[in-house]
Amino acid sequence: MNINQAFSILQSCGGNRAARIITDRYKKMSFLRVKYYAHLLKKGMPVAKIIHSKWFYGLEFYTNKHTLDPRPDTETLVEAVIKDCATNEPRKILDMGTGTGCIICALCKNIPESTGVGFDKSKSALRVAKRNVKNLGLKNQIKLFRGDFAHFESEHMFDIIVSNPPYIKYGDLRVNDAAKFDPKIALYANNNGLSAYEQIAKNAPNLLKPNGRIYLEIGAGQANSVIKIFTFFGWKFDRIEKDLSGINRVVIFNR
């Protein structure tokens, strides 16, 4: 099948942008392969899940059904950390719930002499993160482990902790259709979407150096609740960073 025919079929199911991305990625496709991709587009599957690739902070990441696709909102978190690391002193960074590894990889690529540790509860997500760490040439800088927010332990203390935890409450009708292709474990949390923050607030002091900072992505409208949780556990509120839409997206604390 020639590229124009493939584009036309994909366009009819997913629009111009989706058709262009797929045909740019795969220059040669059989008719059956095009029909299969068209079927996925009709179902509402995000293009990143089809081509197993998503760009984030200028880096290309492998992604699949076991991980969230890196999202532009999360770049706000990366920007906030980099902004606070203007000096060239080495930083040791912990990424709690690493998923694809996009946050820790972007930070270690952009903060000189930094090293990182990432953990995730999902074995499948860790395989994705390890693939991205290898592809980006960061195996000497980043180590990955299996663990969860409440119980992860480390022999090292960290200068910076980052996390984009699951923060959507079950039954939230604002979730878009594309989310049905993401792993529920990475999206939803108990206690109105706040349970992961409670676990992090309680466990993270055991992992953070004195004067260290923690950077957390939050959902729309969650800032006050997250601040309340962290101050209860003795954290000091630093500031909030807004995303490109003007929504409070990252909340920052120190000890």
pLDDT band at 86 (very low <50, low <70, confident <90, very high): confident
Sorted by where each begins, the domain ranges of the chain are 3-43, 53-254
Per-residue pLDDT at 178 exceeds 80: no
In terms of Cβ atoms closer than 10 Å to its own Cβ (0-12, 13-18, 19+), residue 131 is middle
Q: What is the pLDDT of residue 255?
A: 87
Strand partners, 146: 120
Q: Which amino acid is at 104?
A: I
CATH of domain 53-254: 3.40.50.150
The predicted model gives 179-192 an average pLDDT of 90
Q: What is the pLDDT of residue 27?
A: 86
Percent of the chain with pLDDT over 90: 90
- Please give the Cα distance from 210 to 109 (Å, whole number): 25
Q: What is the pLDDT of residue 173?
A: 65
Q: Render pLDDT for 27-67 as a digit per residue (tens, 0 to 9).
A: 889 999 999 999 999 999 999 999 999 999 999 999 999 99
Q: Render pLDDT for 137-168 as a digit per residue (tens, 0 to 9).
A: 999 999 999 999 999 999 999 999 999 999 99
Q: Render pLDDT for 89-140 as a digit per residue (tens, 0 to 9).
A: 899 999 999 999 999 999 999 999 999 999 999 999 999 999 999 999 999 9
Across the chain, the runs of DSSP E, i.e. the strands, are: 53-56, 59-62, 92-96, 115-120, 142-146, 158-163, 168-169, 188-189, 208-217, 236-242, 248-254
Q: Which helix (H) or strand (E) holds 149?
A: none
pTM over 0.85? The answer is yes
Per-residue pLDDT at 175 exceeds 80: no
Neighbouring C-beta atoms of residue 163, cutoff 10 Å: 21
Q: Which two tokens stand for residue 57?
A: 């902070």
The predicted model gives 162-177 an average pLDDT of 85
- Please give the Cα distance from 201 to 62 (Å, whole number): 30
- Please give the Cα distance from 136 to 59 (Å, whole number): 8
The predicted model gives 198-217 an average pLDDT of 97
- Please give the Cα distance from 99 to 164 (Å, whole number): 9
- Please give the Cα distance from 212 to 254 (Å, whole number): 6
Per-residue pLDDT at 87 exceeds 90: no
Per-residue pLDDT at 8 exceeds 80: yes
- Please give the Cα distance from 6 to 85 (Å, whole number): 46
